[in-house]
Amino acid sequence: MPPTFPLPRLTSLSHGGGCGCKIAPGVLADLLRRSAAANSFPGLLVGTETSDDAAVYQLNETQAVIATTDFFMPIVDDPFEFGRIAATNALSDVYAMGGTPILALAILGMPIKVLAPETIREILRGGEAVCAEAGIPIAGGHSIDSVEPIYGLAALGLVHPQRLRRNCDAQVNDALILGKPLGVGILSAALKRDRLAGAQYQALIDTATCLNRAGPDLAALPGVHAMTDVTGFGLLGHLLEMCRGARFGARIQMRSIPVLGGVLDLAADGIVTGASTRNWASYGDEVRLPAQLRGAPQALLCDPQTSGGLLVACAPDAADAVLGIFSRHGCTQAAQIGRMTQAPPAVMVDP
């Protein structure tokens, strides 16, 4: 079993955990529909138009700044690991754009009268540990007294404008490669129900705290056309964003998708997140899933991934190089899961 910690359990203080807290994609799209456009700023290379992972603003011919923020409520009860996971997840947006982080600011909301100061310090220490691993400082931040515990980062990075990789530039016949296995959301649901084995808990921690540092090396490959990271909207949701941006379809194979051990068995036993159901409802008719993949496989494909893997669209002859880069950066379960197609924006899933 996972280790125990002093009460109250962090996960008991939040209505959702990790990237499962995100507003469902359909609801978010409706909320943002009338937002003011930012395309009148010529230096803005990436804004909100394609639901990309971060904003990017060009500074000069060789530098663009990447700006992003990400925060959420606890996905685990260990405060140090919660801090690590939240920080890893926030920095992932910089890596997904092909950039290198340069500094971060902490975002902290805590129920001060409920949690011990030592617990809050451990959350902060976990975030600091990950930023130290990434080679950047946490240079400040902001804190509030909150009903539910919240932690995350605002992160800044740099990228050469020519090495910027957006989520909308995939090409027909591009190979689709996923950097990390799916299932973190389902494992977190099992943790809250005391149904998680010790080895599965360690797999959750190891996956969610593995920095996506492959991003800049992947962006340096001419054959890599598009990147994003798979987080709260699930694999299908983030792949749909890639399809909509490129105005092409995608076809993936369920059998090729890397999965954390025991996850499908847990999903078949009804242990899933509420966010996976909301995600599925948001996809509409843009996903074609055969009947035999309903149930546990569907829940996995919609599972919100906290600090999930990079999803790469690359030329077929670059696929081996992409897998090699992932492996060198510790993402040893990276796998090719499908390809982009000439079809209209939609995802077709084969068994």
3-state secondary structure the chain: CCCCCCCCCHHHHCCCCHHHHCCCHHHHHHHHCCCCCCCCCCCEEECCCCCCCCEEEECCCCCEEEEEEEEECCCCCCHHHHHHHHHHHHHHHHHHCCCEEEEEEEEEEECCCCCCHHHHHHHHHHHHHHHHHHCCCEEEEEEEECCCCEEEEEEEEEECHHHCCCCCCCCCCCEEEECCCECHHHHHHHHHCCCCCHHHHHHHHHHHCCCCCCHHHHHCCCCEEEEEECCCCHHHHHHHHHHHHHCCEEEEEHHHCCECCCHHHHHHCCCCCHHHHHHHHHHHHHEECCHHHCCHHHHHHHCCCCCCCEEEEECHHHHHHHHHHHHHCCCCCCEEEEEEECCCCCEEEEC
Catalytic residues: 19
In 3D space, the residue among 182, 84, 179 whose CA is nearest the CA of residue 133 turns out to be 84
Distance, CA of 35 to CA of 22 (rounded, Å)? 19
Are the C-beta atoms of residues 340 and 313 closer than 8 Å to each other?
A: yes
